[in-house]
Chains A and B, each alone.
Chain A
Amino acid sequence: MEFVVITMAKIAVMLGVLLTVVAYTVWLERKVCAWMQDRVGPNRVGPFGLLQPLADGLKMMLKEDVLPRHITDKALYTLGPLMAMVPALVTAGAIPWGSQLPLFGRQIQCVVANLNAAVLVVFATSSFAVYGIVLAGWASNSKYPFLGGVRSSAQMISYEVCLALSVVPVFMQIGSLSLCHMVEYQTHHTWMIFMPWQWPSFLIFIISAFAETNRTPFDLPEAEQELVAGYNTEYSSMKFSMFFLGEYAAMFVMSAMMVTLFFGGWSLPFAPFNRPATTLWIGLAHVAIFLAKILVFLFLYIWIRWTIPRVRYDQLMALGWKIFIPLTIVNIVFVGIVLALWGGR
Chain B
Amino acid sequence: MTFLDTLFWFLSIAMLLSGVGVIASRSPVTSAMFLVMLFVFMAGLFALLEAFFLAAIQVLVYAGAVMVLFLFVIMLLDVRASQQRRVKLLAVFGGVAVAGALAWELILILQQPVRPLAGSDTNLHGGLEAVVKPLFANYMLPFEVTALLLLVAMVGVVLLSKRDME
Residue contact B68 to A153, C-beta cutoff 8 Å: yes
- Residues of chain B lying within 8 A (CB to CB) of residue A124: 56-57, 59-60, 63-64
Chain A residue nearest to B52 in the complex (CB): A117
Residue contact A149 to B63, C-beta cutoff 8 Å: no
Q: Give chain A nearest CB distance to B73 CB in angstroms.
A: 10
Instruction: Give the contacts of B43-85 with A (CB-CB under 8 A).
Output: 52-53, 56-57, 59-60, 63-65, 68-69, 71-72, 75-76
How many chain A residues sit at the interface, stated as a range, is: 20 to 34
One of B29-37, B100-108, B137-145 contacting the partner: B29-37
- Residues of chain A lying within 8 A (CB to CB) of residue B57: 120, 124
Instruction: Give the contacts of A161-181 with B (CB-CB under 8 A).
Output: 164, 177
CA of A75 to CA of B31 in the docked complex: distance in angstroms?
Answer: 13
CA of A79 to CA of B32 in the docked complex: distance in angstroms?
Answer: 13
Q: Give chain B nearest CB distance to A230 CB in angstroms.
A: 15
Q: Give chain B nearest CB distance to A276 CB in angstroms.
A: 23
Query: B68 touches which one: A115, A117, A130, A146 (CB < 8 A)?
Result: A130
CA of A146 to CA of B29 in the docked complex: distance in angstroms?
Answer: 13
- Residues of chain B lying within 8 A (CB to CB) of residue A149: 75
Asked if A157 meets B53 with Cβ closer than 8 Å, knowing A76-B30, A79-B33, A135-B33, the reply is no
Query: B65 touches which one: A117, A127, A137, A150 (CB < 8 A)?
Result: A127
Q: Mark A137-165, 1 if CB is under 8 A from B, else 0.
A: 11100000010011001101100100010
CB of A121 within 8 Å of the partner chain: yes
- Residues of chain B lying within 8 A (CB to CB) of residue A128: 59, 63-64
Residue contact A120 to B29, C-beta cutoff 8 Å: no
Residue contact A138 to B33, C-beta cutoff 8 Å: no
- Residues of chain B lying within 8 A (CB to CB) of residue A125: 59
CB of A253 within 8 Å of the partner chain: no
Tell which of B27, B30, B36, B64 has the most Cβ of chain A within 10 Å: B64
Q: Give chain B nearest CB distance to A7 CB in angstroms.
A: 13
Q: Give chain B nearest CB distance to A201 CB in angstroms.
A: 19
Q: Give chain A nearest CB distance to B53 CB in angstroms.
A: 5
Tell which of B36, B57, B60, B76 has the most Cβ of chain A within 10 Å: B60
CA of A318 to CA of B9 in the docked complex: distance in angstroms?
Answer: 46
Residue contact B69 to A157, C-beta cutoff 8 Å: yes
CA of A56 to CA of B26 in the docked complex: distance in angstroms?
Answer: 39
- Contacts A120-B53, A131-B33, A157-B65 aside, 7 further interface pairs with beta carbons under 8 A come to A117-B52, A117-B53, A123-B60, A127-B59, A127-B60, A131-B68, A134-B71
User: Could you list 26 examples of A-B contacts with CB < 8 Å?
Assistant: A73-B27, A73-B29, A76-B29, A76-B33, A116-B52, A116-B53, A117-B53, A117-B128, A120-B60, A123-B56, A123-B64, A124-B57, A124-B60, A125-B59, A128-B64, A130-B68, A134-B71, A134-B75, A137-B75, A153-B71, A153-B75, A154-B72, A157-B69, A157-B72, A160-B64, A177-B53
